[in-house]
Amino acid sequence: MHRVALSCLLIGLLGGSVSHAQSDFKVTLLGTASPAPRADRFGPSTLVEAGDQKLLFDAGRGVPIRLRQLNVPLGKINVLFITHYHSDHTSGIADVWLTGWLSPPFGRRTAPFRVIGPAGAQALMSNLEKAYALDIKIRLADEKLPPEGIATAVEEFDKNGVVYENNGVKVIAFEVEHGPAIKPAVGYRIEYKGRAVVISGDTRYDQNVVKYGAGADLLVHEVGSARPELLATSVPVQRIIAHHTTPREAGMVFSQAKPKMAVYTHIVLLSTEKFPEPTLDEVIAETRQTYGGPLTVGEDLMSFEIGETVTVQRYKH
Ligand SMILES: [Zn+2]
Ligand SMILES: [Zn+2]
């Protein structure tokens, strides 16, 4: 096993809870970065496993590698949900789709690749089909891979509501405010057996996250932070932070939604040569100005079992 439970000391510091019950509702952070290329944090993506269903939310840089570390075959992903069309959330889609079709055990998809997202999903997938047409043609002829496995089945939606329902799993999309020019942008609430996981997507402080996040077992939220001196002097930094939720604002969301566990992902920490990025301890301290409940700073491959309590596990690299 590659996993270790967070120590009680750390859990205590983070305000979490420890339980060892197994649950069939589980969330794993596959990538927790912003667009900045880093070896320790890959592009934004979250895996939700509910019963025998595997749902992927966004597919940023490196997702196939993270799924391989979990021994989850790419071909076993049932649906990809897209929050919005910034490339850090979509640059891994072609890799999941194409590599998941290959014949080794990490692939083997034999049914169409299903994608659900706001307006733009159809154009993205049909243009990927054009971009990779020669690869598809070659592998069909050379490797005799099943044509159905590389087909796509795309569904677009244009309003808040249920976008997926299957075998006890319900996914509800809700609009979020990522910036006036960045539309559409949505978050998702995933419900299973009376429990709920909410993924904010990229958003600034938004009351809709409070509304759809209310009473969630796990609230997975983005965060963006820069040192006050940098924020005061850099217009590009001000623009980026205006597209995201500061730790203080995220704490306000958590205080109102009251999840059993709040977790940060998509951790945007801005810096220049003169001003270093805020530390994670500083992000936590700022959150604590507005929120006193359970909080975890996400890491790649950190997982959360959603049972009577939420159990946090770190991945041992
Ligand atoms: Zn974005
Ligand atoms: Zn992003």
Question: What single DSSP character describes residue 216?
Answer: -
User: Can 58 be counted among the known catalytic residues?
Assistant: no
Residues with CB under 5 A from ligand 1 (ion): 86, 202
Query: How confident is the model at residue 317, as a pLDDT?
Result: 72
Query: How confident is the model at residue 49, as a pLDDT?
Result: 98
Domains by residue range for the chain, with CATH: 3-315 (3.60.15.10)
At what angle are helices 121-131 and 133-142 packed, to 10 degrees?
60
Query: How confident is the model at residue 56, as a pLDDT?
Result: 99
Query: How confident is the model at residue 21, as a pLDDT?
Result: 52
Ligand 2 centroid distance, CA of 200 (Å): 11
| DSSP-derived secondary structure for 133-199 | HHHHHHHHHHT---GGGG-EEEEEE-SSEEEEEETTEEEEEEE--S-TTS-S-EEEEEEETTEEEEE
Indicate the SS3 state at residue 261: strand
Structure tokens at 139: 């592998």
Annotated catalytic residue: which of 58, 88, 217, 300?
Answer: 88
Ligand 2 centroid distance, CA of 140 (Å): 34
Ligand 1 centroid distance, CA of 202 (Å): 5
Question: What single DSSP character describes residue 74?
Answer: G
Q: Tell me how far apart the alpha carbons of residues 34 and 131 are, in angstroms, rounded to a whole number.
A: 25
Residue partners of 123: CB distance under 8 A and separation at least 6: none
Query: How confident is the model at residue 22, as a pLDDT?
Result: 77
In residues, how long is the chain? Answer: 317
Burial class of residue 29 in the structure, from the number of CB atoms within 10 Å of its CB (0-12 exposed, 13-18 middle, 19+ buried):
buried
Q: Tell me how far apart the alpha carbons of residues 36 and 154 are, in angstroms, rounded to a whole number.
A: 29
Ligand nearest to the CA of 223: 2
Per-block mean pLDDT, blocks of 10 residues, the chain (317 long): 40 44 90 94 98 98 98 98 98 98 98 98 98 98 98 97 98 98 98 98 98 98 97 96 98 98 97 96 98 98 97 92
Q: Tell me how far apart the alpha carbons of residues 43 and 45 are, in angstroms, rounded to a whole number.
A: 6
Looking at residue 125, its amino acid is: M
Ligand nearest to the CA of 179: 1
